[in-house]
Structure 1
Amino acid sequence: MPKKIAFSVIYVTDEDPKYKSTELNTHAPTVKGWQTSKNCEYPQEIVLQLERRCTLNKIQILAHQYLIPSKIELFSSNEDTNMISDVTNINWEYLGYITLSDNQSTGFKSRELKSANVPKCLVSFIKLKLHKNHNNSYNINNQA
């Protein structure tokens, strides 16, 4: 039966000082969320360490209503969490990618929840690689 797995953000390439990656560690309506810094370089990466090793077959991502990456690549690793001292030493397996709507049809008012089936695998870490944002008049600083 599918269930939500707790995780911690252990690495990001960039973040806005007002919207830190640690915001992603808490799941509640009052959470501000994470954003890249203004006019950042793409792609951006986020590495998540799962609470425990688990079998993964689906990922869900909730996107902002107008700070939207055009594509997110998904990677997994089953390395022992006790053996990792630096995220650059993690060996990644490519799982695929998802594309996100530019959200013009909703007037940039709705957030997109994207579910992606991935090849079934045992996972300790997940890496998300966010590609250039969709351009729109609300996102003047090219953030995701």
Structure 2
Amino acid sequence: MELVLAQNEIPQLLKVLELSKNRGIYLLSGNLASGKTTLVKAMVEALGVEENVTSPTYLTALEYGESIYHYDIYQKDLNTLFALGFLEELEKEGWHFIEWGDENLAKILKNIGLPFWHILITQEGNKRKYSIRGI
């Protein structure tokens, strides 16, 4: 499924995802400044958490509320993350938003049976195209 939306139209995407009902893993991919963190901000807000959402670039992970997890794995080695317990973190009940989730991570999640949504964000003028697939 694909949606082309302006920033103020992101709630339409959240309705399609049925975010409040669909806890789980959301891989967010796209170029630098494509809107990954902006999407996470909207998702956290839609889940009723009023916290300042920033990209966890240097921390790798941030937690909002009691069960919302936000990761940035840009240029991080997956094997190192796995050795640090990343897969175990993803098994926690809640919403897991992973910026820079790529096909390598998608294949691993699929192979071990962890379902996820993959959202590719690309720029289309002053809007963003959200290509969504659930696995």
Give your verdict on TM over 0.5. no
Which protein has the bigger strand share?
1
TM-score, normalization by structure 2: 0.30
Which protein has the bigger helix share?
2
TM-score, normalization by structure 1: 0.29
Higher relative contact order (CA 8 A, sep 6+): 2
